[in-house]
Structure 1
Amino acid sequence: MVKKTLRSLWTYLLPYRFRFVLSILLGMLSAAFNGFMLIGFQLIFSLVLKGQTRTLGEPTKLPLIGELNLAEIMGVADDTPVGLTGVMTACAFIPVLIFIRGFLSYLSSYMQAWVTSKMVYQIRNDAFRSVLRQSPGFFNTAKTGELMQSVTAQTGVVQRNSMTLVQTLAQRPLTIISILVVLFAQDWFFTLMSLVVFPACLVPIIRIGKRVRRVGANEEYDSRALMVAMQETFSGIRLMKAYAREDHAAARFDRSNASMTRNMVRWTKAMELVGPVVETVASFGIAAGLVYAWHRGLEAENFFIMVMALTQIYPPVKELSKVQILLQKTTVAASMVFELLERQPDIQDAPNAIDVGRAKGAVTFQNLTFYYREQNGDKKEVPAVQGIDLQLDPGKFYAFVGPSGAGKSTLYSLLLRFYDPDEGAVLMDGHDIRSLTQNSLRGNIGVVSQDTFLFHDTVAANIAFARPDAAQEDIERAARLAGAHDFVLALPEGYATMLGERGYSLSGGQRQRIALARAILSDPRVLVLDDATSAVDPSKEHEIREAMASVMDGRTTIVIAHRLSTVRSADRIVVLDQGRVAEQGMHEELLTHGGLYARLVGHQLAAAS
């Protein structure tokens, strides 16, 4: 899994490979500069500690360089004393050396941050687009909170940890090598004495790493569960309050939050334990080196440099010890994101799919059979629709009625190609819709559903959702046809009024009319009204029906209805029962027949009286 995930990350890194390589080179240069700084500090310490007694011509022995005569370099006499000026000049080089190393490190870190940000930006965009490409069936089983977590939080983990890993792997080994080179050049035996316990540091790193990998993976899964709990609660907040279940929601959130917090604490405890363990073990080596230094009688400047080098070598070792842990956490988060990226939609355009253009609106359901799927992908035992044969002529008004679960909404879902039938076909103007591009097919169909969805945006933007480039006059014309113009003008800012999330600041009837205006603006050849008046008060239903009637003329209209009063004027009423066509005909004809439709009408009349 790790290799596959890293290969996937590399494909996103490729467009920025030149900056990436440059950032690594700058980081390596910054790391290598640590060794050069040690040599410079030894020269400075030598001048500072012996500045009152030595001359510039007195040779200074430096590791890797050998003996250095400052008098020759500066072009002065050998007996020139160092003096206060020389000491101050030497000390002035300390901030210069530190600045150079810091500047190189800054450039490297900035470029790495730029590269990883761009990389994750593209991953996040592609992940979001991957979710949008999925068929509606995917969302029947997917958890919205988990999808949000993958697109946002887990890509954030990839971004942060990727930068840390690159910096650690590119710079820390070279930092260690550059310091070791100077140490061995200075005194190889002292260096060996100080590093003799180094292999022992690997034991706690390996043991702690195994535990942290498991805990890190659990934390990612807990984080997803927390997002799911939060998203579902906020989405269903009205239902939650209606049933006074806030305490239940809080308890569910608390369980997920507590589990994630426990794993975060365990992960942090294990991560932070690595450093002290490595430092403690390393201190024995430093102590051994110091005993040797005392025995050998090292000069003060050499002793300071050796101790400084030893204290600088273990921090990068400590950081490298965490690489495996960070890599595991990064790959867990990245694998969840790439799992989403690599998922292919159940419904895809055929390789030679055609654009149907402006359709006439003829729809045919041809020997149609469809089964919904269980979560494991297996077919359900009973088909949602079976053996459906219907011909819908352009410009006519059709009604699909029947008991709940009869297959009415399934037919319109198949028409929109949210699903593909198991048997038979759906035709648009004689074309199997599987041979058409999804965008051109759906561009000819307008939908107003019983569950009207409005965005947290202006009224105008909600109407123009179907046609973002629509002019204001076109938006207002659609609103007039839908019977929405007058109440929109009465809003505080008219068409510029911001609607709350899902449009809950409007009444049910107002939301339906905004949704109808949206469908009108798209100018569809086929208009589907899926129980569009179910959430409207009966006193307002007549107004909605009148608005609908004004836009149905000339379009193939399919009305899915439970309130049979809305379908009496239909050119044909199709009565569905248990996924099959039970009967079809006009209102009076079906009443005379005395079948299922007549019984449904009778039940509704009895309930109304």
Structure 2
Amino acid sequence: MIRRVGGYIKNEDSALLRGGELHLDALHLPCYASDPAASVRDCFPTSMAVAPFSKNPSQMTDAEIAQLKMPYARILEYLKPWMGRFILGVFIGIVAAAFNGVLIVGVSLIFQLVLDGGAKTLGTPVQLPVFGEVNLAQVLGMANDTPVGLGGVIIACACIPVLMFLNGFLEYLNKYCLAWVGTKMLFHIRSDVFRSVLRQSPAFFSHTKAGELMQTVFNQSRVAQSNAVQLVQLITNRPLTIVTILFVLFSQDWFFTLMSLVIFPLCLAPIIAIGRKVRKSGSREEKEVGTMMTTMHESFTGIRLVKGYAREEYEVKRFDKANAEMCRNMLRWTRAMELIGPIVESVASIGIAAGLVYFWVQERSASELIVLVMALTKIYPPAKELSKVNLLMQKTVYAVNKVVHLLEREADIKDLPGAPELPRIKGGVTFENVSFAYSKIDGSKLDKAAVTNVSMELSPGKFYALVGPSGAGKSTLFSLLLRFYDPDSGRVLMDGTDIRTVTQDSVRGNIGLVSQDTFLFHDTIRENIRYGRLNATEEEIIAAAKKAHAHDFIQAQQGGYNAIVGDSGCNLSGGQKQRLSIARAILRNAPILLLDEATSALDTETEKIIQEAIHVLSEGKTVIAIAHRLSTIMQADQIIVMRDGGVADIGSHDELLKKSELYQKLYSLQFHE
């Protein structure tokens, strides 16, 4: 239960806030500022206020995995748009199951007309399951003495493939309709899971393995879809198939049918035992696939480090460990699934053997026995498949819960309901008593804050620099300005607007970023530049490249602007990648420009080129730069010196050399010689 006490939200039940209080004044929420009597739900979305914490299935123990339940309501949301096709598929499955009875009756009739000497005339009575004794001549409206003849036999025998085709075609339509629905669901589930992952804050990605995310988005969603479709087919079609065939069999010879099935329960004991032994193998297999994906992703993205340290064999061993465990679980799973078949078939053969003895004693015709045995053999495939439902369900439940966990995970940073767009600003930035501490993997805050009570006002169109030792909080201020995180207390404002009251996209739309760690997509040079503004024309892209001093080297590439940069830009040098990053920022043309160590890893000649490009990029913008090389920021309008998460001094280069001991120390370390 969440209740309000004074200026606090107290939560007595929810795991989200249990044992803690959330101070409304510190959040500076518009609803609370304008109306102190506002309720909690006026300030927070319902899901944000009361959403329970859902544990990631990949972090569960085997005992916890065994207790997982199928979230039917969540899956039903994706089924609703295709409910008509789904119902049609289920209905066709029911018709296909019932048609098995028609098939048995038809085959019984044909066998009696053809085998054991056959019927000479249509008036000869035949004994059919369910219908009893039937006179075909009367049914067809013909004379009793009408001969069957060779033509009649050929027509009757030709009906067998027709009946088999109809039976198979109905099965095909059933599977196709359900697979069509499943494929549509898979598309939307994958899309929503991917969207849910992308809306998470950087804090989520810092605690989550990329390989496991890829495994969930691609493989777990596929497992959930394919297994769910298979389960629907099994549950809706197979039981009715068995009931239909048994009804026909009991109507023809109840004693034979009973004797054939009386020992069927004997196979249940080993099936149950096998199910208990390997029911966790499916979920373990999926967990190990996630580990393998993580190892591959890290090895491929860090291939230069792997090779530089000659760690190929070490990475192979990491991969093989997960690979071997996954293969063992796959083998257990396969052994369990395939062992069930021979057990059920052995039981069926005992029933057939007993039936042969029974027919010998009763001196009955072979045609009757053939029909009964054929009907019995049609029972066992669906019975065998139904026996796998429990094992299949275990794997499906784990996959579905893994997918749903990501679908329902609330983002740490969310827009307020109905938050407006921030229009293009002039470039003013204000940090107002901002404090922030990063979170641990369990969600609790670190004891030491990254920034504490930071206050500063940056005017539009000026150049500001952040300097200080590592860990001083410089990059954290960038992250707060980009709203990757929200401050624990205080506010960050753009042109006087609290960035938490407007949409995240509109905040970031007013910011351009050039970082030391330039990332390029495995795409053409053109598309990597266009990423700054997706609707940019070819002329604008080329103009941005020229301003970034990138046009000449682009033209020298084979393919020019169509050249592929390679994975993370591996086909380009560091300086070339940086110039493309600057071209991207120029194309974005945002009023605020963040430079994060943009030239620290470059040689002197390349640094000069980059500095010229940055000078062009910075014209008319509010520039905030993080730099360890003081030579790159000595001309800044204001230099902010940071230490231990706070602002130590602010001033120009000359002013700081006179009054700031820390700045003097940093300057002396770089320029003393």
Bin for the TM-score computed over the shorter chain: over 0.9
Residue 342 of structure 2 aligns to a residue in which SS?
A: helix
- Equivalents in 2 of 1:88, 1:57: separation in Å? 18
Matches within 5 A, 1:459-538: 459-538=525-604
In the other structure, the counterpart of 2:440 is 374
Residue 279 of structure 2 aligns to a residue in which SS?
A: helix
Structure 1 residues 213, 605: closer, same or farther in 2, change over 3 A?
Answer: same
- Equivalents in 1 of 2:638, 2:660: separation in Å? 16
Q: Which amino acid aligns with 2:163?
A: L
- Equivalents in 2 of 1:20, 1:434: separation in Å? 43
- Equivalents in 2 of 1:137, 1:561: separation in Å? 24
Between 1:544-553 and 1:222-231, the stretch displaced more is: 544-553
- Tell whether 2:164 aligns with 1:90: no
- Equivalents in 2 of 1:243, 1:184: separation in Å? 74
1:84-126, CA deviations, whole angstroms, 9 ceiling, x for partnerless residues? 2221111110111011111111111111111000001110000
> Which of 330, 346, 351 is residue 412 of structure 2 equivalent to?
346
- Equivalents in 2 of 1:373, 1:141: separation in Å? 10
> Which of 365, 378, 388 is residue 312 of structure 1 equivalent to?
378
Between 1:42-51 and 1:265-274, the stretch displaced more is: 42-51
In the other structure, the counterpart of 1:333 is 399
Q: Which amino acid aligns with 1:224?
A: G
Residues 201, 282 of structure 1: 8 Å contact kept: no
Q: Which amino acid aligns with 2:226?
A: R
In the other structure, the counterpart of 1:28 is 94
Residue 152 of structure 1 aligns to a residue in which SS?
A: helix
Matches within 5 A, 1:560-571: 560-571=626-637
TM-score w.r.t. structure 2 length? 0.88
- Tell whether 2:177 aligns with 1:108: no
What is the aligned-residue identity percentage? 56
- Equivalents in 1 of 2:561, 2:366: separation in Å? 81
In the other structure, the counterpart of 2:512 is 446
In the other structure, the counterpart of 1:166 is 232
Q: Which amino acid aligns with 1:160?
A: S
Residues 364, 427 of structure 1: 8 Å contact kept: yes
Structure 1 residues 354, 74: closer, same or farther in 2, change over 3 A?
Answer: closer
Structure 1 residues 560, 78: closer, same or farther in 2, change over 3 A?
Answer: same
- How much does 1:385 deviate? 0.8
In the other structure, the counterpart of 1:390 is 456
- How much does 1:547 deviate? 1.1
Between 1:304-313 and 1:526-535, the stretch displaced more is: 304-313
Between 1:468-477 and 1:489-498, the stretch displaced more is: 489-498
In the other structure, the counterpart of 1:437 is 503
In the other structure, the counterpart of 1:79 is 145
Q: Which amino acid aligns with 1:290?
A: L
- Equivalents in 2 of 1:594, 1:155: separation in Å? 57
Q: Which amino acid aligns with 1:169?
A: I
- Equivalents in 1 of 2:608, 2:102: separation in Å? 86
Q: Which amino acid aligns with 1:486?
A: D
Residues 398, 570 of structure 1: 8 Å contact kept: yes
Matches within 5 A, 1:45-64: 45-51=111-117, 54-64=120-130
TM-score w.r.t. structure 1 length? 0.97
1:413-458, CA deviations, whole angstroms, 9 ceiling, x for partnerless residues? 0000100111111111111111111011000000111100001111
- Equivalents in 1 of 2:274, 2:70: separation in Å? 25
Name the count of aligned residue pairs: 607
Q: Which amino acid aligns with 2:502?
A: L
Between 1:481-490 and 1:393-402, the stretch displaced more is: 481-490
- How much does 1:73 deviate? 3.7
Q: Which amino acid aligns with 1:27?
A: G
> Which of 553, 566, 571 is residue 619 of structure 2 equivalent to?
553
Q: Which amino acid aligns with 1:140?
A: S
Between 1:138-147 and 1:279-288, the stretch displaced more is: 279-288
- Tell whether 2:658 aligns with 1:580: no
- Tell whether 2:203 aligns with 1:137: yes
Q: Which amino acid aligns with 2:380?
A: Y
1:482-506, CA deviations, whole angstroms, 9 ceiling, x for partnerless residues? 2212221222222222211111211
1:224-263, CA deviations, whole angstroms, 9 ceiling, x for partnerless residues? 1111111111111110001000000001001010000000
Structure 1 residues 294, 51: closer, same or farther in 2, change over 3 A?
Answer: closer
Structure 2 unaligned residues grouped into runs of 5+: 1-66
- Equivalents in 2 of 1:300, 1:55: separation in Å? 20
- Equivalents in 1 of 2:301, 2:491: separation in Å? 36
Q: Which amino acid aligns with 1:100?
A: L
- Tell whether 2:297 aligns with 1:231: yes
- How much does 1:296 deviate? 2.2
- Equivalents in 2 of 1:95, 1:285: separation in Å? 27
1:449-492, CA deviations, whole angstroms, 9 ceiling, x for partnerless residues? 11000011111111110211101111112112222122212222
Residues 591, 598 of structure 1: 8 Å contact kept: yes
- Equivalents in 2 of 1:585, 1:556: separation in Å? 17
- Equivalents in 2 of 1:277, 1:92: separation in Å? 35
Residue 419 of structure 2 aligns to a residue in which SS?
A: coil
Structure 1 residues 474, 588: closer, same or farther in 2, change over 3 A?
Answer: same
- How much does 1:289 deviate? 3.0
- How much does 1:592 deviate? 2.1
- Tell whether 2:270 aligns with 1:220: no
Between 1:11-20 and 1:75-84, the stretch displaced more is: 75-84
> Which of 62, 65, 72 is residue 131 of structure 2 equivalent to?
65
Q: Which amino acid aligns with 2:354?
A: A
- Equivalents in 2 of 1:311, 1:435: separation in Å? 68
Residues 361, 428 of structure 1: 8 Å contact kept: yes
Residue 602 of structure 2 aligns to a residue in which SS?
A: coil
Residues 51, 83 of structure 1: 8 Å contact kept: no
- How much does 1:66 deviate? 2.3
- Tell whether 2:639 aligns with 1:543: no
- Equivalents in 2 of 1:63, 1:487: separation in Å? 84
- How much does 1:51 deviate? 4.6
- Equivalents in 2 of 1:588, 1:407: separation in Å? 23
- Tell whether 2:184 aligns with 1:150: no
- Equivalents in 2 of 1:380, 1:173: separation in Å? 56
- How much does 1:352 deviate? 3.7
1:381-418, CA deviations, whole angstroms, 9 ceiling, x for partnerless residues? 21111111110000010000111111111101000010
Structure 1 unaligned residues grouped into runs of 5+: none
